[in-house]
Amino acid sequence: MDIYKYLSNLKIDYVKMEHKPVSTVKEALFIEETMNGEGVKNLFLKNANHNYYLYVIKSNKRADLKALANYLNSGKLYFGNEVELNKYLGLKPGAVSLLGIINDSGKVKIIIDSDLVGKRLLMHPNINTVTLSIAYNNVLKIIEDCKNDYIIF
């Protein structure tokens, strides 16, 4: 699905920046310094029962997966592999983005870092050479439109 058409259909405003490919938080620091918004890292996770999660966390924050697993009562969390990432979100490593949920059928639960609530979020439109800045309320609108469950952690 075309991301820009999707965002237009939902009447979601965004600011767009094209740049060199970035695959890590460190490589993307210049984007955070240039654009209005919070940089994030997206962790594609699963548990032993094959429940899938996308943890959207502030880019400079350490992810405490043990605390998250306890909160979710999910058992130990593992990183999903490349095949699973492509199957559920249509993405490749290095370009993981919340916007991948437009390729999902509501199977991936979204976990949003509480430090991101109310902020503009920076995210790839499923390609790592472009970053979009999207308001938090519009991020929730996307999640709800895609029928994914979400929690704030």
CA distance 89 to 94: 13
Residue 53's nearest CA partner among 110, 103, 104, 112 is: 110
pLDDT of the chain, 153 residues: tens digit per residue: 799 999 999 999 999 999 999 988 899 999 999 999 999 999 999 999 999 999 999 999 999 999 999 999 999 999 999 999 999 999 988 889 999 999 997 799 999 999 999 999 999 998 899 999 999 999 999 999 999 999 999
- The CATH label, of 3.90.960.10, 3.40.50.1000, 3.40.640.10, 3.30.43.10, for the domain at 3-152 is 3.90.960.10
Question: pTM for the whole thing?
Answer: 0.94
Residue 7's nearest CA partner among 128, 129, 125 is: 125
Residue 32 token pair:
């955070």
Residue-level pLDDT at 148: 96
Beta carbons within 10 angstroms of residue 53's beta carbon? 21
CA distance 131 to 145: 21
Residue-level pLDDT at 105: 79
Residue 23 token pair:
């695959």
